């Protein structure tokens, strides 16, 4: 038996340790990675298919009314929309009294003006100058029992103040406009304030000046939006006071009260646009194969049904929706005079009880809280010369997957609309074609139609 | 009396330490088996890539084992070869390997590293004629991850389907050797095949997973005859035989939605019916120890009739395999060495293997050469056997997959005198 000398034992231990460490290293580094090698040995048991010809049935609906109070904006104007009909907008604003006038024994009225600031939003022919009429309200603006006023609401206006002003404004201008009001109105208001300044509480003030109604004169061809905040909408009374024999110019300012403003909006739809109510939707086959989304006026929105999704079930033993995109394309040239909504929402719409449900949500990367699914207007679409890239895109994979194989009572439709919070803030309009909409050629028609693009995988037993 | 107590306590502590070390190595090897890392596209076929080498002491000798018999050798291939184990010895054998592969086709060139546990076994002589060995080794390994682009019908888009496989069939064996006459031993090995193989196809929205479970007991037989000539030359001849037997794999399938994880379908599917092939082999070895230098030459051939299995996968079929192994081992001085280098066992060998697979009608062939060293330690009783194998597997088909590989095998052979009686009580 050979006994290894001590010095060699240490060497051997080191050698064994090195061998072990080497093997451990090799094991740790022998990681799996995908390889193309041997791909001729494998064959998928699934087929993946992308189809963009799935039927989407559309019907157009109109809302009874929308909340227009406390929106920070009034619309004034008229527009005869060739797509939907004639819309008319009137604004009602209350002004708050300010104390920035000099308590002087001999104030002398000079002039009165109304300051308006357009928001840049418009609906109609922007080449036409706004032509407005301004009315003094008879009574202060009273909110409904729910604290709101609607597009159908109005307020009594007197005829003692009746002025009509046309001012220059072109396109989506946001330049401040100052309109001279009749001196009679200004003197009456000024004197009322000055004479009763000792007893001028809010009630007395509102009796003296309940507010203004701003309406379009006949012949307007555009509706403009004006910002209503205490700094963007004001009445300014210019007056003078005598101090030591000198006359000094002063300004008394009445600021708009955003909490007490609303719009009266009405749309007379075209005779050949039989838009239904939510209980009686009108299919787009009766609206020239067009769906509509319109904010302001008589708000229109469009319901979407997907009646043939169950067909997917028949394609294989197992069918899994990999991706479903809803692409909404505006009709070419329909958005040149009316701006497109910057974003749209999809809402669940229960066809059994015709109740509009909540907006579809989605989980975004890195978040556990679902957010409202929004279809943003493709950036490229903002260039009107690039119609092919002008569309709204929704990923509705989960919704479509949930609708396959569901009984009739479980079926849910969708309605597509401008976000609720935005529907009365600006005039926007989207006109889009259904699957039968025809535009010049077959190819061009597809660029104007709604499209449901579904990518699905089919498994068949092997 | 005190001396006796101290001696007994020391002996108990010693045995306890050894058992602890043995347990640790067993646990480690089982963990390693679970962490098996194989990367070979051919492992997609059948029950996985079947390991033809036994990764024992003889790896450096081209794995020529059938006719091999030694006092320190656990013969994994021929149970009759256990008959050479010394009466007092307890042998613990552990092997692992790392394989660096370089795959080339006419269009691709990829590298892969495989790390595999190969063998864990213990063996000892129970009676003067009866020797046993119990061991665990992987019978097949599955490990691949293949990415294949697929066309989305109705568009010009493509997506990748990932095909992965893992697991393997393991073999737990109980080998017995019985000396019938002086020099003639017969062996039988009962093997329990078990394990799970999983093939998974991951498409963007569907995951299809098929699991195969093996559960089979089989017997292998062996014979060896050994004769000593002139006290310095021993010739051993041996043979092995395994009969053809059913090999059933129980299969189940699960289909799930990739994104939601929702299980769409889960069911048992028809069993996979295969056969363990009829196998036979023969070999011999010549051991010579003269002038303290020890020479050992061993050669064998082995055949397995895999063609009884009709399975076919995209041009790959089972075919009968043949393996020819030969190798030499040299130890410079076993009795009066002047240094450590003289007690190292130096090995060299070669192997030619016609694989169990034929691709497009051409049998895969494997050529390899090996060198190895057996490094003695622990008073020269135990060895670390390190072998390097360089080889090539190819069908010879132009454009087909060719694998050039370098394999490093490490075998730890712990030999203990557990059954030595104390000189005094």
Domain boundaries, chain B: 1-35, 38-417
Q: CA A352 → CA A278, A398, A408, B33, B146, distances in Å?
A: 11, 21, 9, 59, 49
Q: Is B244 on the interface with A (CB under 8 A)?
A: no
Among A23, A44, A455, the residue with its CB nearest the CB of B150 is A44
Main-chain dihedrals φ then ψ at residue B16, nearest 5 degrees = -60, -45
DSSP letter assigned to residue B278: P
Give pLDDT, residue A381. Answer: 54
Nearest Cα residue in chain A from B314: A41
Residue of B nearest to A457 (CA): B205
**Span B109-130, pLDDT tens digits:** 888 888 878 888 999 888 889 9
CA dihedral sign, ordered B15, B18, B24, B27: negative
Residue A93 burial (C-beta neighbours within 10 Å; 0-12, 13-18, 19+): buried
Whole-angstrom distance, CA of residue B403 vs CA of residue B393: 5
* Whether B204 and A48 lie within 8 Å, measured CB to CB: yes
Mean pLDDT value across residues B83-87: 86
A10: which DSSP letter? H
Q: What is the pLDDT of residues B243-293, one digit of tens each?
A: 999 999 999 999 998 878 889 999 999 998 999 999 999 999 999 988 889
Mean pLDDT over residues B89-103, rounded? 88
Q: Is residue B187 within 8 Å of B224, Cβ to Cβ? A: yes
Q: Which residues numbered 153-172 in B keep a CB inside 8 Å of some CB on A?
A: 153-155, 157, 159-164
Cβ–Cβ under 8 Å, residues A63 and B152: no
CA distance A331 to A384: 12
Cα–Cα distance for residue pair B373/B347, rounded to 1 Å: 6
Q: Where is pLDDT greater, at A29 or B132?
A: B132
What integer pLDDT is reported at residue A4 of this predicted model?
45
Q: What is the mean pLDDT of residues B192-206?
A: 92
3-state SS class at A394? strand
Contact criterion met (CB below 8 Å) for B176 and B187? yes
Residue A169 has which token pair?
């404004």
Mutation target among B72, B88, B154 for the A interface, most CBs of A within 10 A: B154
* pLDDT class of B419 with cuts at 50, 70, 90: low
Strands (E), A105-218: 108-124, 131-137, 157-166, 177-181, 212-216
Q: Please report which confidence band the pLDDT of residue B1 belongs to, taking 50, 70 and 90 as the band edges.
A: very low
CB half-sphere exposure, A42, CA atoms < 13 A: 30
Write down the CATH superfamily of domain B38-417.
Outer membrane protein transport protein (OMPP1/FadL/TodX) (2.40.160.60)
pLDDT at residue A275, rounded to an integer: 74
The pLDDT value given to residue B3: 46
**Count of beta carbons in the 10 Å neighbourhood of residue B399:** 10
Q: List chain A residues with pLDDT less than 70.
A: 1-34, 99-105, 159-164, 169-172, 278-279, 297-298, 351-355, 365, 379-385, 461-462
Which tens digits make up the pLDDT trace of B40-61? 888 888 888 888 877 778 899 9
* Closest among B309, B253, B357, B320 to B44, alpha carbons compared: B357
Question: B124: helix, coil or strand?
Answer: strand
Looking at residue A433, its pLDDT comes to: 92
In 3D, which of A365, A338, A149, A167 has the Cα closest to residue A261?
A149
User: Phi and psi (nearest 5°) for A203?
Assistant: -65, -45
Task: Please write the tens of the pLDDT for every residue from A149-190.
Answer: 988 888 887 754 556 677 776 666 778 888 888 888 888 888
Please report residues of B whose CB lies closer than 8 A to that of A317.
265
Phi, psi (5° rounding) for residue A13?
Answer: -60, -45
**pLDDT-above-70 percentage for chain B:** 88
Of the pLDDT bands very low, low, confident and very high (cuts 50, 70, 90), residue B406 is: very high
Q: Is B338 exposed, middle or buried (0-12, 13-18, 19+ CB in 10 A)?
A: exposed
Q: Closest approach of chain A CAs to the CA of B64, in angstroms? A: 24
Tokens of A208: 């003296």
Task: Tell me: pLDDT of B219 over 80.
Answer: yes
Which residue in chain B has the smallest CA separation from A319? B206
Residue of B39, B41, B386 lying closest to A32 (CB–CB): B39
ipTM value: 0.75
- Which of helix, strand or coil describes residue A295? coil
Whether A78 contacts A216, CB under 8 Å: yes
Question: Is A318's CB within 8 Å of B164's CB?
Answer: no
């Amino acid at each position: 038996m050979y006994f290894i000398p001590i010095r060699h034992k240490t060497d051997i231990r080191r050698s064994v340790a090195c061998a072990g460490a080497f093997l451990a290293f090799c094991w740790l580094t022998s990681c799996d990675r995908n390889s193309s090698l041997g791909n001729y040995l494998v064959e998928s048991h699934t087929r993946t298919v992308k189809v963009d010809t799935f039927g989407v049935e559309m019907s157009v609906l109109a809302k009874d009314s929308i909340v227009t109070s406390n929106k920070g904006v009034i619309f004034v104007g008229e527009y005869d929309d060739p797509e939907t009909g004639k819309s008319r907008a009137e604004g009602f604003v209350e002004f708050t009294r300010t104390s920035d006038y000099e308590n002087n024994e001999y104030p002398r009225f000079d002039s009165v003006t109304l300051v308006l600031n357009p928001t840049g939003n418009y609906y109609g022919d922007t080449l036409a100058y706004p032509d407005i009429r301004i009315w003094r309200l008879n009574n202060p603006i009273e909110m409904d029992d729910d604290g709101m006023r609607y597009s159908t609401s109005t307020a009594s206006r007197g005829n003692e103040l009746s002025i009509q002003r046309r001012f220059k404004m072109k396109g989506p201008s946001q330049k401040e406009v100052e309109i001279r009001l009749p001196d009679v109105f200004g003197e009456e208001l000024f004197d009322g304030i000055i004479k009763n300044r000792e007893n001028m509480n809010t009630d007395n003030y509102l009796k003296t000046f309940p507010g203004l109604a701003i309406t379009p004169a006949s012949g307007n061809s555009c509706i403009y939006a004006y910002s209503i905040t205490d700094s963007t909408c004001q009445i300014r009374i210019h007056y003078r006071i005598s101090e030591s024999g000198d006359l000094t110019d002063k300004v008394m300012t009445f600021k708009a009260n955003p909490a007490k403003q609303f719009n009266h909006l009405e749309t007379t739809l075209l005779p050949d646009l039989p838009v239904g109510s939510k209980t009686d939707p009108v299919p787009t086959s009766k609206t020239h194969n067009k769906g509509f989304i319109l904010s302001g006026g008589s708000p229109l929105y469009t319901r979407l049904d997907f009646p043939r999704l169950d067909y997917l079930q028949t394609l294989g033993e197992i069918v899994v929706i990999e991706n479903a995109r809803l692409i909404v394309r505006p009709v070419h040239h329909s958005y040149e005079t009316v701006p497109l909504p910057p974003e749209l929402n999809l809402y669940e719409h229960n066809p059994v009880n015709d109740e509009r449900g909540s907006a579809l949500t989605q989980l975004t990367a890195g978040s556990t809280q679902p957010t409202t699914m929004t279809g943003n207007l493709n950036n490229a679409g903002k260039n009107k010369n690039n119609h092919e890239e002008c569309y709204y895109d929704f990923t509705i994979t989960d919704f479509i997957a949930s609708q396959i194989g569901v009984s009739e009572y479980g079926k849910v439709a969708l309605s597509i609309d401008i976000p609720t919070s935005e529907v009365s803030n600006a005039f926007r309009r989207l006109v889009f074609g259904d699957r039968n909409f025809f535009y010049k050629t077959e190819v061009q028609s597809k660029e104007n139609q709604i499209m449901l693009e579904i990518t699905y995988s089919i498994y068949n037993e092997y | 009396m005190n001396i006796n107590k101290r001696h007994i306590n020391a002996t108990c502590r010693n045995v306890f330490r050894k058992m602890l070390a043995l347990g640790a190595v067993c646990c480690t090897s089982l963990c390693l088996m679970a962490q098996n890392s194989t990367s070979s596209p051919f492992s997609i076929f059948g029950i996985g890539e079947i390991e033809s080498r036994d990764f024992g002491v003889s790896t450096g000798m081209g794995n020529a084992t059938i006719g091999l018999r030694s006092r320190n050798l656990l013969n994994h291939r021929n149970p009759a070869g256990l008959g050479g184990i010394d009466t007092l010895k307890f042998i613990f054998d552990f092997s692992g390997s790392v394989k660096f592969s370089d795959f080339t086709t006419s269009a691709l060139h990829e590298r892969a590293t495989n790390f595999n546990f190969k063998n864990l076994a213990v063996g000892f002589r129970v009676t003067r004629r009866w020797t046993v060995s119990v061991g665990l080794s992987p019978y097949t390994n599955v490990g691949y991850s293949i990415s294949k682009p697929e066309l989305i019908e109705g568009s010009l888009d493509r997506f990748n389907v990932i095909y992965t496989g893992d697991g393997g069939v393991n073999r737990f064996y109980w080998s017995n050797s019985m000396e019938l006459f002086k020099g003639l031993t017969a062996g039988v090995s009962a093997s329990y095949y078990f394990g799970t193989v999983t093939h998974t196809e991951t498409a963007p929205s569907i995951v299809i997973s098929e699991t195969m479970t093996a559960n089979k007991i089989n017997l292998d037989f062996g014979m060896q005859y050994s004769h000593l000539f002139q006290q310095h030359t021993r010739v051993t001849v041996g043979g092995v035989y395994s009969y053809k037997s059913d090999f059933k794999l129980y299969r189940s399938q699960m289909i799930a939605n990739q994104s939601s994880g929702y299980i769409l379908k889960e069911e048992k599917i028809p069993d996979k019916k295969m056969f363990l092939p009829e196998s036979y082999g023969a070999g011999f070895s010549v051991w010579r120890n003269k002038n303290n230098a020890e020479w050992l030459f061993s050669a064998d051939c082995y055949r397995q009739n895999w063609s009884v299995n009709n399975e076919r996968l995209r041009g790959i079929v089972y075919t009968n395999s043949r393996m020819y192994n030969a190798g030499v081992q040299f130890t410079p001085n076993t009795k009066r060495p002047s240094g450590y280098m003289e007690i190292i066992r130096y090995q060299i060998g070669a192997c030619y293997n016609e694989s169990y697979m034929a691709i497009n009608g051409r049998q895969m062939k494997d050529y390899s050469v090996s060198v190895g060293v057996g490094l003695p330690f622990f008073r020269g009783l135990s060895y670390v056997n390190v072998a390097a194998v360089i080889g090539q597997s190819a069908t010879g088909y132009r454009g087909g997959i060719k694998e050039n590989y370098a394999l490093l095998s490490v075998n730890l052979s712990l030999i203990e005198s557990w059954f030595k009686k104390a000189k005094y009580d």
